[in-house]
Amino acid sequence: MMGPNAMKIAEQLTAGFILTPGMRVLDLGCGKGLTSISLAKEYGAGVFAHDLWVGATENYRRFKSFDLDNLIIPIYGDANDMPYADEYFDAVIGVDAYEYFGETESYMDEKLAQPVKSGGIIAIAVPGVKKELNGVLPVEMSYSWTVEDLSTFHSCDWGRELLSKSQKIEIESVSEMPDLDELWNDWLACDNEYAVRDRPAMEAGAGKYMNF
């Protein structure tokens, strides 16, 4: 795991729409491709697993071990320089990645919306906070993080305001995900070094400020 349970998040993200075999889905910021595997197995859709931090060969071998290399195409690349044709994808899924590259007002229209078909779907999930921190870190959070560590963590209201600047998308929902505690608990229970680092703050009660 590279963050809160990506497969559960992807399942919740896709619960409100239909993916079918033959559709093309961009899994943007896929990491080790767990969401790509989940999407391919669950829906039989063709998935482009795009990531800058995990190499295409590493992900290809992983997809092949699941016998899904016929459905998932691994792509190594920057989210700011994507090679795809306009209106190519039926859907874009982004789990715990958009906060690293999508926080400018121009990104949605100039980068992400371009390769999505008219009427297509963009579904994004990012870690955040219930209310903006505005540079003030609650004591509970300080056990694991600095203000800089959480500089990309924002509220739903902040995200809605950012996306409302787009001229190319229609916002259907910006909301907290269900089963929030379960998502964080799965993450904290794993042995990832970042999960271990996050435990002191969450054990101190920082979860009451957190969102996803």
Least confident interval from 27-41, 91-105, 149-163, 178-192: 178-192
- At 119-136, the pLDDT tens digits run 999 999 999 999 999 999
Q: What mean pLDDT do residues 149-164 have?
A: 96
Three-class SS state of 188 = helix
Answer whether residue 26 is part of any domain: yes
Into how many domains does the chain fold? 1
- Give the mean model confidence (pLDDT) for residues 62-70: 98
Q: Which residue has the higher pLDDT, 135 or 5?
A: 135
Q: 3-class SS at 124? A: strand
Q: Has residue 1 got a pLDDT over 80?
A: no
- Tell me the C-alpha distance between 60 and 62, whole Å: 5
What is the per-residue pLDDT for 11? 87
In a domain, 203, yes or no: no
Q: Which residues pair with 73 in a beta bridge?
A: 48
Residue found under tokens 């990491």:
31
List, in order, residues 6 or more apart from 30 with CB less than 8 Å away. 36, 49, 50, 51, 54, 59, 97
CA atoms within 13 A on the CB side of 183: 26
Find the CATH number of the domain harbouring 168.
Answer: 3.40.50.150
Helix (H, G, I), strand (E, B) or coil at 125: strand
Greater model confidence, 11 or 169: 169
9-64 confidence digits (pLDDT tens)? 888 889 888 899 999 999 999 999 999 999 999 999 999 999 999 999 999 999 99
Number of other CB atoms surrounding residue 191 within 10 Å:
7
Average pLDDT on 144-172 reads 96
Q: What is the pTM of this model?
A: 0.92
Does residue 143 form part of some domain?
no
Amino acid, single-letter form, for residue 146: T
Q: Structural domain of residue 93, as residue ranges? A: 6-127+155-178
Q: Is 21 inside any structural domain?
A: yes
Q: Is residue 77 part of a domain?
A: yes
Q: Which has the minimum average pLDDT: 2-11, 86-95, 163-172? A: 2-11
Q: Is 37 inside any structural domain? A: yes
What is the pLDDT at residue 8? 86
Does the pLDDT value for residue 176 go beyond 60? yes
The whole-angstrom separation of Cα 127 and Cα 129 is: 7
Q: Which of left, alpha, beta for 122 (phi over 0: left; psi -120 to 50: alpha)?
A: beta
Whether 79 is covered by a domain: the verdict is yes
**What interhelical angle do 6-13 and 180-189 show, nearest 10?**
160
Closest CA to 188 of 204, 169, 170, 167: 204
Distant-in-sequence, close-in-space partners of 187: CB < 8 Å, separation ≥ 6: 1, 3, 4, 5, 195, 198
58 in any annotated domain = yes
Phi, psi of 196 (to 5 degrees): -60, -40
pLDDT for 2 equals 56
